[in-house]
Amino acid sequence: MRKLFKRLHLWLSLPFGLIILTTCLTGALLVFEQELTQLAFPSRYTVRQVRAEKLPLQTLVDRAAMTLPDSVSITGVTIPSDPKRPYTLGLSKPRKAGLLIDPYTGEIKGRSDRTPFYSVVFRLHRWLLDNMKPAGEGIFWGRIIVGTSTLLFIFVLISGLVIWWPRKLKDLRKQLRISLHHGRHRLFYGLHAVGGVYVSLLLLIAALTGLTWSFEWYRTGFYGLFGVSVEKKGKDAPAKGGGKPEARADKDKPADKRPEGQAPRGEGRERERKRKDKPKAPKTYLLWDQVYREVATRSNAYHEINISEDEARGMLGSLNSAGNNQAADTYHFDAETGAITKVKLYKDAKLEKTFKGWIYTVHTGAWGGFVTRLLAFLAALFGASLPLTGYYLFIKRKLAQRRKKAKKA
């Protein structure tokens, strides 16, 4: 049995080792993305001077809107509890874009979007730099390759534990030591075998939770183990018969014989007029100050408050929610008066509403604050070294076998 696991461990690791290395290394870099980004751009993420009074949100939104192109609008605001941090104004595009603004002076500090470096790191981690298809059908091959490699990584870790496990329990203590004074080969073997044992639990947790973003069948099964059903997005669900509904709806329409890119007469001017007339912020932004004050008085546990068109979210963080880093209390407000009309507290939410946040929090190691994030970082970093030490041991063994055969000849 041990011999079978050795072969499985070897032949699964060799072809997918570099992908596992890439996934683990980029995962380690992403653990402290926010801190490293703020360290790289300190002036962008801190205000120049903390003053007694902040400018009204209406003023901040109006000033920021003047700097935006006609096609971009403000969708919401994020207000941190730290008075030294700027506000973040959410933008309609690109996805997850934001504008940092000093709440005391109205100075635009810069963009809160993911930096180009971390954009590459994230795309490597999730999709191996695979891009969206021209038809907008989503990312496929990169997601499949990363998901398959992660799935095989689970078998590699389990087979590694089986190979390492001592034949006698009395030898367990000896097996947990890494030899530092018996040459490079023994050191690399210890780092690979024993070091892999030390981080195997954290790596297995990261792999098992990470697969929920790779395969729908796995996500459905994983959620089902905890009694949670997966919500299917209607707009993303393929229509009956395959393909896009709108594509088939237009199938029987006469072909458009205009040159490519040329709009029907008058349509271009109408589209331009509508684009210019589009409001730069939700009409409820005039009430955001009132909503913020009301939500802030409900609890002092919020590390930030997010306000959008018709709701506000008080973010609790992992330390105030028994570990869920995505935990939030939700407040719906009246679009005319700003009065709170409905409250959904996180403590009252069902598991199916919080489970996705739990998966993300556990996957990133954020459930226990800085300490568990540091452990997740070190485990991912060490996980990236396992293919390297494994390749080293494999090549050394092959070279030794070749020399042995040469001597016999």
Six-digit token pair at 368? 């226990």
* Mean pLDDT for all residues in the chain: 87
pTM: 0.83
The pLDDT of residue 81: 94
φ, ψ of residue 257 to 5 degrees: the values are -95, 10
Is the pLDDT at 242 greater than 70, yes or no? no
Contact 142, 130 (CB under 8 A): yes
- Nearest Cα neighbor of 289 from 345, 333, 346 is 333
CB count, 10 Å around CB of 132?
Answer: 11
The pLDDT of residue 359: 95
If residue 292 lies in a helix (H) or strand (E), which one and from where to where? helix 288-298
Six-digit token pair at 253? 């329409």
pLDDT digits (tens, 9 = 90+) for 293-339: 999 999 999 999 999 999 999 999 877 777 898 999 999 999 999 99
Six-digit token pair at 298? 């409900």
Q: Where are the domains of the chain?
A: 2-31+119-233+371-408, 49-106+281-368
The pLDDT of residue 268: 54
Residue 100's Cβ-count burial label (10 Å; 0-12, 13-18, 19+) is buried
CB count, 10 Å around CB of 259?
Answer: 6
Place of tokens 């030390």: 198
The pLDDT of residue 285: 94
Is the pLDDT at 8 greater than 50, yes or no? yes
247: confidence class by pLDDT, cuts 50, 70, 90: very low
CB count, 10 Å around CB of 320?
Answer: 17
